[in-house]
Structure formats: structure tokens, C-alpha cells
């Protein structure tokens, strides 16, 4: 039983900024003098419309979303977008390119196969997804409707350091690194992200879609997954995830106060640098991802044995450093260090790792 906040290294749902939680708590029962919680408001009310408009405007400002692109808030998380992307875009040629660099990009490709032909431009499973291919190694199709890649691989701890160029629209799953650094939105036809890592509580996907791609959906596309319909209805074809949108707005305000994406990038470099510097000089712990492909959001590592890994995770949890176990399909450990993770949390983790190493040589 903890009497104070812990450092939660979960891959998602993840930590939210403390000032955001405190403000949400203060406004829980009476938002802005409305006499009710945002949870209780009609999505058509004047009060919620103001919340919605501010959140959308802040997202456009902070991510530098150009006028050529629309912003949507959709239900179903990133997994829902695996189908939405294919059904909205693949019908043009019946074929799409997918870069498979981890579990979620593999699942996205599997889902897309239900709606057309999928060509795999790279598959890093040959080295257990421990690296990101170079652009010259991607085998692109001349007739693909789009190229899909997952910008950060949460489970395996790798991250793309470039936006792949293609003769078709580029689609990115940015669920686990959106808002952590500047991004070239204009270089993408679609960017989508489950919000439960860097943006808001679980239950929503934020989608940025180029206007020129609207209206290409297959006839079988459910109305709720149609980008064109959702743009026309301003994400309100049905009742949207209102509280998620409100919380996203609070997080975006916090990001802006912290220096925007430049400030987030500075912090991510600091946190990741501390962890990787320790791992590179450790005689007990080994980083899993190849240098040059390492994620600065999800740091994966292990000891020499699963038994020692389990001991580490258990003892770390007793010190308030929780959710450090690796994903069940890879084992080991994983420290997810998203935007809301305080630098002090990483300092305490490194200090514990140093102590654990001395005690378990």
C-alpha cells in the first residue's frame, strides 16, 4: 500500500501529468461554473462545444497541423484505426504497403488483408524486431494506395528516426510517441494515435487526415469509421468520448506550458539518455534494441535470466517503481518513459538498477 504517488512505467495506460490530474479533480463536480462534471454534459451543449473547440485548436497549434489536414477524435483506439485506414484508403488500388517492425504493425497488416492485398515492404522479425530498417531497404510497390508504418514500437523498444518517403500517402501509427517531439504532419496522409500513452486516458484515437484523401472509403465502411463522415460531422456523428477530449485538452495545455514539442523533446532526450547511458555501461543489464534504432519512449532491457528479471521487477515495485515487466511475448523489462514521467522517476530507477546490480553480481 502506497501513501503517495508512485512512478508508473506502464506502456499504457500510462502516467498523466500531475497538474492535469489535480485540475481535473478540482473540476470534477463543477466544471467552469456549470454545476456539473464534463462527464455529465451534453456533447451538443455550449459548454462542451467550447471544450471541444479549444482542444482541437490546441492540437492544431502544438503539432503544427497544416490547413490541408483535418483533426478527428474517434472511438476504438488505435486498433480501430487498423481497419479504418484500410477501409478509407485501400479501395483506390486494392493494395497497400506495410512496414512490419513490431507487434502492432503486424496486427495492422493482418487487419488490412481483410480489405485488399498487403505487400510487406520490410519485416524485422528476422532479428526479433530489434532494429528499424534503412530507407534504402524498403521494397515499395508502384501501385500501393498508401504506406503504413508504426513510428514507435512499444513492445520491442525501437523507434523510426525518419519518415519513410513513398510515391503514395504515408500513414503513421504514432500511438506511443506523439507529442514527444516535433513531427512533419504534412509528410503524412494520415497520422493516428491511441491516446492512452502521451495524451489522455484510454478510450479514444486522435486522427489527423489529409483532406484530399477524404471520400475514398469502401462501400462496406461503417459510417462511424468513415473519415469523410467524421470530418463533416466534426467528430460528432454520434456521442464522442467527451471526457477523453476534455482530458486531452488539459494535457495539451500542460504541453504548451512546458515549452511545446521542443520542451517535450528536450525532456525525452534527457530521460532516455540517462537510462541508455546506464545500460551501456552495465555488467548485469543489457539493452534489447540495436543502437540507432532505440526508442526514447520504451526502453527494453533484461538480465541474464528470467528468474533475475522477475526478481528485479518485484523488488522495483516495492520501491514504488512499478510496471517494469516486459510484454508477455518478449519478457525481460520495459521502462516506458512518456511525457508525464518526471525526470526524477528515471533518476530513481537508475539508482535502483545500480543498487540491484551491486547486490546481484
The β-bridge relationship of strands 147-150 and 117-123 is unpaired
Q: Which whole-number Å values give the CA distances from 267 to 255, 274, 327, 338, 345, in the listed order?
A: 11, 11, 25, 10, 12
Distance between CA atoms of 121 and 305, rounded to whole angstroms?
34
Distance between CA atoms of 99 and 121, rounded to whole angstroms?
5
pLDDT in tens, 69-127: 999 999 999 999 999 999 999 999 999 999 999 999 999 999 999 999 999 999 999 99
- pLDDT, position 3: 73
What's the whole-number mean pLDDT along residues 165-169? Answer: 97
Grid cell of 183 as nine digits: 513531427
Distance between CA atoms of 248 and 198, rounded to whole angstroms?
9
Domain locations along the chain: 21-257, 260-359
Average pLDDT, the chain: 97
User: Quick check: 174 pLDDT over 70?
Assistant: yes
The verdict on whether omega for the bond into residue 276 sits within 30 degrees of 0, i.e. cis, is no
The CATH number of the domain covering residues in 260-359: 3.90.1150.10
Residue percentage of the chain with pLDDT more than 70: 100
What's the whole-number mean pLDDT along residues 251-261? Answer: 98
pLDDT in tens, 301-343: 999 999 999 999 999 999 999 999 999 999 999 999 999 999 9
The β-bridge relationship of strands 333-336 and 298-302 is antiparallel
- pLDDT, position 56: 98
**Predicted confidence band at 361 (pLDDT cuts at 50, 70, 90)?**
confident
Distance between CA atoms of 113 and 350, rounded to whole angstroms?
43
pLDDT in tens, 17-49: 999 999 999 999 999 999 999 999 999 999 999
Evaluate the CA torsion angle 240, 50, 88, 171 in order and state its sign. Answer: negative
Distance between CA atoms of 274 and 266, rounded to whole angstroms?
13
CB-CB contact of 154 with 12 (8 Å): yes
Distance between CA atoms of 288 and 339, rounded to whole angstroms?
22
Distance between CA atoms of 345 and 335, rounded to whole angstroms?
11
Residue (of 152, 153, 151) closest to 163 by Cα position: 151
Grid look-up 546506464 returns 278
Class of domain 21-257: alpha beta
Kindly give, in sequence order, each residue whose CB lies less than 8 Å from that of residue 45, ignoring residues fewer than 6 positions away: none
Grid cell of 263 as nine digits: 520542451
Intrachain domains 21-257 and 260-359 with the same fold: no
Secondary structure in 3-state letters for the chain: CCCCCCEECCCCCCCCCHHHHHHHHHCCCCHHHCCCCHHHCCCCCHHHHHHHHHHHHHHHHHCCCCCCEEEEEECCHHHHHHHHHHHHHHHHCCEEEEEECCHHHHHHHHHHCCCCEEEEEEEHHHHCCCCCCCHHHCCCCCCCCCEEEECEECCCCEECCCCCCCCCCEEEECCCCCCCCCCCHHHCCEEEEECCCCCCCCCCEEEEEEHHHCCCCCCCCCHHHCHHHHHHCCCCCCCCCHHHHHHHHHHHHHHHHCCHHHHHHHHHHHHHHHHHHHHHCCCCCEECCCCCCECCCEEEEECCCHHHHHHHHHHHHHCCEECCECCCCCCCEEEECCCCCCHHHHHHHHHHHHHHHHHCC
User: Quick check: 1 pLDDT over 70?
Assistant: no
Residue (of 64, 3, 42, 359) closest to 208 by Cα position: 64
What's the whole-number mean pLDDT along residues 124-153? Answer: 97
CB-CB contact of 63 with 185 (8 Å): yes
Grid look-up 517535450 returns 264
Residue percentage of the chain with pLDDT more than 90: 99
User: Quick check: 196 pLDDT over 70?
Assistant: yes
Length of the chain as a residue count = 361
Amino acid at each position: 500500500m502506497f501513501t503517495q504517488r508512485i512512478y508508473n512505467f506502464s506502456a499504457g495506460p500510462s502516467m498523466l501529468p500531475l497538474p492535469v490530474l489535480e485540475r481535473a479533480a478540482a473540476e470534477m463536480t463543477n466544471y467552469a461554473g456549470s454545476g456539473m462534471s464534463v462527464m455529465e454534459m451534453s456533447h451538443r451543449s455550449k459548454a462542451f462545444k467550447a471544450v471541444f473547440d479549444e482542444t482541437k485548436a490546441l492540437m492544431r497549434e502544438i503539432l503544427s497541423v497544416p490547413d490541408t489536414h483535418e483533426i478527428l477524435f474517434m472511438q476504438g483506439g488505435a486498433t480501430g484505426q487498423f481497419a479504418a485506414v484500410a477501409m478509407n484508403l485501400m479501395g483506390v488500388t486494392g493494395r497497400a504497403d506495410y512496414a512490419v517492425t513490431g507487434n502492432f504493425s503486424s496486427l495492422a497488416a493482418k487487419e488490412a488483408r481483410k480489405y485488399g492485398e498487403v505487400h510487406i515492404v520490410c519485416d524485422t522479425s528476422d532479428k526479433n524486431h530489434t532494429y528499424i530498417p534503412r530507407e534504402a531497404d524498403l521494397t515499395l510497390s508502384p501501385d500501393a494506395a498508401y504506406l503504413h508504418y508504426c513510428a514507435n514500437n512499444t513492445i520491442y523498444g525501437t523507434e523510426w528516426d525518419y519518415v519513410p518517403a513513398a510515391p503514395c500517402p504515408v500513414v503513421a501509427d504514432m500511438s506511443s510517441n506523439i507529442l514527444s517531439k516535433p513531427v512533419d504532419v504534412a509528410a503524412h496522409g494520415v497520422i493516428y494515435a491511441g491516446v492512452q500513452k502521451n495524451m489522455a486516458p484510454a478510450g479514444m484515437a486522435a486522427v489527423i487526415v489529409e483532406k484530399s484523401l477524404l471520400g475514398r472509403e469502401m462501400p462496406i465502411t461503417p459510417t462511424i469509421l468513415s473519415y469523410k463522415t467524421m470530418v463533416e460531422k466534426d467528430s460528432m456523428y454520434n456521442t464522442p468520448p467527451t471526457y477523453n477530449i476534455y482530458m486531452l485538452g488539459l494535457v495539451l495545455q500542460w504541453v504548451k506550458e512546458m515549452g511545446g514539442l521542443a520542451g517535450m523533446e528536450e525532456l525525452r532526450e534527457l530521460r532516455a539518455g540517462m537510462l541508455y547511458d546506464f545500460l551501456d555501461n552495465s555488467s548485469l543489464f543489457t539493452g534489447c534494441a540495436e543502437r540507432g534504432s532505440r526508442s526514447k519512449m520504451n526502453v527494453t532491457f533484461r538480465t541474464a535470466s528470467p528468474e533475475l528479471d522477475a526478481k528485479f521487477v518485484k523488488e522495483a515495485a516495492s520501491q514504488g517503481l512499478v510496471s517494469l515487466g516486459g510484454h508477455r511475448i518478449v519478457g525481460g523489462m520495459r521502462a516506458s518513459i512518456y511525457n508525464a514521467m518526471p525526470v526524477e522517476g528515471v533518476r530513481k530507477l537508475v539508482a535502483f538498477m545500480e543498487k540491484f546490480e551491486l547486490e546481484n553480481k
